[in-house]
Amino acid sequence: SEHATSGWNRQSMRRCWEFLDLTSRSFSAVIKELDGDLARTICLFYLVLRGLDTIEDDMTIPDDVKQPILRSFHEKTVTPGWTFKENGPDEKDRQLLVEYDVVVEELNRVAPDCRDVIVDICHKMEVGMADYAHKAASTGSLYLATVAEYDLYCHYVAGLVGEGLSRLFSASGKEADWLQYQLELSNSMGTLLQKTNIIRDYREDVEEGRFFWPREIWGREEYGGFKEMAEMYLPANQERALWVQTGMVVDALRHAEDSLDYLRLLKNQTVFNFCAIPATMAMATLELCFMNPDMFQRNIKIRKAEAARLIMRSTNPRECAYMFRDYARKIHAKASPSDPNFLRLSVACGKIEQWC
Ligand code: PS7
Ligand code: MN
Ligand code: MN
Ligand code: MN
Ligand code: MN
Ligand code: MN
């Protein structure tokens, strides 16, 4: 029966669904709604990348240990019985690696063409993560000097997710075969989500010694020439920190039109919802962060009611474009004419307006 082949009743797959709930705040619900086999395939894709990211994020693992684990993860992820118990304290994500053999078991049951996509994307991502982690370890901190380096990092950890998802959508037959070749657009979609996450997680990441904001943006002379990313949370620097933040938001908004273009290509309603909800959430999060000094002090999140409204509205490309436009207008309305990026921000918001 469909139920048996989707593995809802199998112990190992049931554990995988539990891990999806444990490790994903935002993706769990939309993944479960996906049509047919896509739900299980993308659940496993998520868990593979969550496992890989848990190793990347674990700052208690020394570089010489981390390098070979990252670089062999695409092999471990299909090696029956493989688990990783020597990782640090992040409890729920840690447990996924402790019991990783259930993911391996289920991944080996996935149709070979889909499994190959997952393993291929995992391989490309682990190489990028390992290169950046090594650079960070050997320079003392993860320092992205240029916007180009920042874009490349986002390509590795999120743009590739977009590519893999498109390939899985095409392979499922639920989306056009040519969707998998829209790499520019799928990369933009992933990058918009990743950059939003990197902006919002400023404080948490800085405290863990991870510096994703590119120095080319935060070090600009027009914001008073910060020497360290940690200087931005000092109350005395609040105004200048908000100018830097505008620079980061303007940079993230570059990917908004491509993301709307990507959404317009989708046909399947469950695939559409899966892609659209995180995208509108990202725009809502950018608006929440923008000109909000709290972002430099603590983790801020959009309100439950706003998230609920946004989920209900993310059903077609036109509504999504209107939501993007409304968030762009709110951002523009909060901008200060004395902000060094005021003009660039106005242009970025205007472009989103034009898309509609
Ligand atoms: C396979 C659904 C839809 C074309 C684990 C979805 C961390 C922002 O700060 O947990 O580490 O806690 O909030 C997701 C493109 C990737 C990009 C990336 C895999 C959209 C490992 C999501 C998610 C492509 C690297 C959320 C990129 O992290 O972060 C699947 C189309 C994982 C997507 C990471 C981040 C995801 C992220 P934190 P989060
Ligand atoms: Mn998160
Ligand atoms: Mn990471
Ligand atoms: Mn992470
Ligand atoms: Mn995290
Ligand atoms: Mn983050």
Place of tokens 């039109």: 257
Nearest CA to ligand 1 atom 34: 157
Is the CB of residue 244 less than 8 Å from the CB of residue 206?
Answer: no
d(CA 242, CA 244): 5
Q: Which two tokens mark 47? A: 């868990």
d(CA 71, CA 52): 10
pLDDT value at residue 2: 46
Nearest CA to ligand 1 atom 27: 158
pLDDT value at residue 26: 84
Q: Ligand 2 centroid vs 26 CA: distance in angstroms?
A: 8
Is the CB of residue 232 less than 8 Å from the CB of residue 241?
Answer: yes
pLDDT tens digit sequence for 107-147: 999 999 999 999 999 999 999 999 999 998 887 666 799 99
CA-278 nearest atom, ligand 1:
6
pLDDT value at residue 5: 55
Nearest CA to ligand 1 atom 7: 53
pTM: 0.95
pLDDT value at residue 8: 67
Mean pLDDT by 10 residues, the chain (356 residues): 59 96 92 96 98 93 95 98 86 90 97 98 98 86 86 98 98 98 98 98 92 95 91 96 97 98 98 98 98 97 95 96 97 96 96 91
H-only helix segments in the chain: 2-5, 11-23, 28-32, 37-57, 63-71, 73-76, 91-98, 101-107, 112-139, 147-154, 160-172, 183-200, 202-207, 215-218, 238-253, 256-264, 269-289, 304-313, 317-334, 342-355
Among 129, 305, 275, 295, residue whose Cα is nearest residue 205? 295
Give residues with Cβ within 8 angstroms of 168, minimum separation 6: 38, 41, 42, 45, 114, 117, 118
CA-204 nearest atom, ligand 1:
9
**Catalytic residue among 115, 167, 203, 210, which?**
210
Residues within 6 Å of ligand 1 by CB: 27, 42, 45-46, 49-50, 53, 157-158, 161-162, 165-166, 186, 189-190, 193-194, 197, 201, 262, 275, 278
